[in-house]
Structure 1
Amino acid sequence: MNWIQSFTLTLTLAGAMAAPLAAQNFQQVAESSNQKLEDALKELADVRNDIAEKKIPLSKSVSELESKVLELRRERNRLLKIKDAGTIDLSALERQVGQMKDQADFVNNRLNEFINEFEGRINISELAGYEEAIQAGKLAPKNENLSAEEKRTLQVGVIETALGRIQNLIGGHSYEGSALNPSGVLVDGKFAIMGPTVYFSSDDGATFGLIEAQLNAADPVVLDLPDDIDGGISQAVTSGNGMLPFDSTLGKALKVAKEKKSLKGYIDDGGEVGLVIIGLGILGFLLAIYKSIQILSFKVAMPRHIDGILESIDKGNEKEAQERAHAIGGIAGEMFEAGVVNAQEKRGILEEMLFERILKARPYLESFLPFLSITAAAAPLLGLLGTVIGMIKTFQLITIFGTGDAKSLSSGISEALVTTALGLIVAIPVLILHGMLSRMAKRKLGLLEQGAVAFVNGVMARRHDKKDS
């Protein structure tokens, strides 16, 4: 039930209770309601008329504003497109600038590399003629007072100088200068370049030869050529006509010949450890020679000698047996002399008497052999010691001079390698000699023992024969 029904019910009840009062006021209420309704309708009509009057101008204003919004949107989109296009163009320009900068850096690096390589490629005798252009090109990138174009011009000037040098080298090129002769004296003269080879002849013609650059020399050095090369170099350099020696190895053969060392040079490279190894080796070889003579001169009894001694004993002629034993000589003679004297003793005593002489011969034959064995074992160890000392010197030189100066490091490396070689040179022959001499000594002892056994067996056999007869 809604409020209208409730209101109706209420009115109904009220009407039922106050019928007389409702009858009196109903007409008044109806008239008042009609009047209010008319007023409300009139007010609504006025409002609608007012809205209708204002709607058209407002619609026009809205249309104008919408048109302006559309126009502003189009302008905004146009500006955004312009902005995007500008951003794209700026990025492209930045990329182009970066690429051009990279290209410029690459060209500068290549120019610097060329200048450095050109300086290292030319002969030391040519350096004076090209030094100004080379230094200007090398210092140009660091000169803040020069523009980029001026720097590039100085660097390109080195290339032009190099091209001019190539033109000069076609057919040969000569120029004045100074060089150090083989005695270390600076002399004036003339240089001539033919291909990769540079020749020099002094003004007086006394010094001539090939030119090389040495590590500790600021001037070009004249190589000391073999005696069979005559003065044709001097004539060719001075006059432009003549015979020039040609080295197909481009100077390597002369360097190899120059670097060849004598035995004294290798000994000097070995240092103190090398001298110790050589001294040990010489002593070992002398002892080996001495032992060879000693073992070879050691006398042993031959079967015929033993048979003769046994025959004399069998005859009962002890004096003759002793003379034959004495004739053998050495420890073997002493052994058989003792055997003759004790021939009548029991087998055990006779064997002990002979074995005593064999024990005497053993240290005689084996003397100095342990020293040879020690020499063969110690020489490589001394070589290893020299290697360690040489490497220590090398690392010390690296600490002082760095790794750029290979020639200054060669002394330590040479000592390291030479001592190892000397140790092996000494150890291998001494080891072989020790083995040979040990076998020779054992063979002599074996023959001595064999003779003793043959003597004892012969004496015992004859003693049994006498008993049997």
Structure 2
Amino acid sequence: MHTIVRFFQMGGFFMFPILMVLAAGLAISVERWLHLTRVKKDNSQTWDQLQPVLAAGDFDRARDMVNEDGSTIAQMLSMGLARQGAVRRREDIEIAMEESLMEIIPQLEKRTPYLALLSNIATLFGLLGTIMGLIAAFTAVATASPAEKAALLAASISEAMNCTAFGLMSAIPLLLIHARLTSTTGQIVGSLEMVSVKALNSISTFAKRAY
């Protein structure tokens, strides 16, 4: 702990903005991870219940189920099933679900892009802190005696580099978390698209039988 505190103190003023950026990034990461995990779980449970109902062609019951469910998959299917009894064309039902999906995707991606931005900001703060530290170091060396210059310059540069190191230590995890959250969001969107196709196929199958 003493080493960490010493490392932080040696980095100078810009260590604090980097720390705040890291804290904001981690807060967003935790919130998004919990949200996406909950969405995946709710979608999986909802689809397990809906799939046999749709396969049996009981669309009235399916409409009741999705209207009572708060998951994103139910939100999307409710738009399609609402059109199922009113229109005959598959394209109309498909457009309704695509419209719903366009509303869902921004909610899934919400705040995730900020992680990449915060990662870049942490890196830039680290570089800025190092540059300011080097400016201060060379200013101090200019007034130092020749015998002290080398030792003073080496110590000052070492301290200035702490800011860059901390900036990179903050930026790299945020980038990795951003990539993971983006991948998870893509998986959820892919599963929603797959479900919409399966629901459309079930609706079309029973529509053909009705005629």
CA deviations over 1:117-157 (Å, ceiling 9, x no partner)? xxxxxxxxxxxxxxxxxxxxxxxxxxxxxxxxxxxxxxxxx
Identify the residue that residue 3 of structure 2 maps to in structure 1: 262
Following superposition of structure 1 onto structure 2, how do residues 305-316 of structure 1 map, counting pairs within 5 Å? 305-311=49-55, 314-315=57-58
Higher strand share: 1
CA deviations over 1:188-221 (Å, ceiling 9, x no partner)? xxxxxxxxxxxxxxxxxxxxxxxxxxxxxxxxxx
Distance 1:436 1:322 in 2: 34
Distance 2:24 2:156 in 1: 27
SS class of match (1:375): helix
TM-score by length of 1: 0.41
Q: Note if contact 1:366-1:441 (Cα within 8 Å) is conserved in structure 2.
A: yes
Deviation at 1:466, TM superposition (A): 2.3
Higher helix share: 2
Distance 2:151 2:10 in 1: 14
Structure 2 stretches lacking a partner, 5+ long:
none
Distance 1:400 1:309 in 2: 83
Q: Note if contact 1:331-1:357 (Cα within 8 Å) is conserved in structure 2.
A: no
Paired residues, what number? 205
Identify the residue that residue 398 of structure 1 maps to in structure 2: 141
Deviation at 1:264, TM superposition (A): 2.2
Q: Note if contact 1:284-1:372 (Cα within 8 Å) is conserved in structure 2.
A: yes
Deviation at 1:410, TM superposition (A): 5.8
Deviation at 1:400, TM superposition (A): 1.4
Distance 1:261 1:426 in 2: 20
SS class of match (2:114): helix
Amino acid at match of 1:437: L
Q: Note if contact 1:384-1:419 (Cα within 8 Å) is conserved in structure 2.
A: yes
Which structure is higher in RCO with an 8 Å CA cutoff and minimum separation 6?
Answer: 2
Deviation at 1:409, TM superposition (A): 4.2
Distance 2:209 2:72 in 1: 30
TM-score by length of 2: 0.87
Deviating 4+ runs (over 4 angstroms): 406-411
Decide which structure has the larger Cα Rg and report it.
1
Deviation at 1:310, TM superposition (A): 1.5
Q: Note if contact 1:365-1:441 (Cα within 8 Å) is conserved in structure 2.
A: yes
2:182 to 438, 451, 464: 438
2:13 to 260, 268, 272: 272
Identify the residue that residue 26 of structure 2 maps to in structure 1: 285
SS class of match (1:358): helix
Distance 1:325 1:407 in 2: 72
Following superposition of structure 1 onto structure 2, how do residues 251-400 of structure 1 map, counting pairs within 5 Å? 261-298=2-39, 299-301=42-44, 303-311=47-55, 314-315=57-58, 318=60, 320-326=61-67, 328-344=69-85, 345=87, 346-400=89-143
Relative distance call for 1:337 and 1:457 in structure 2 (3 A) is same
CA deviations over 1:61-90 (Å, ceiling 9, x no partner)? xxxxxxxxxxxxxxxxxxxxxxxxxxxxxx
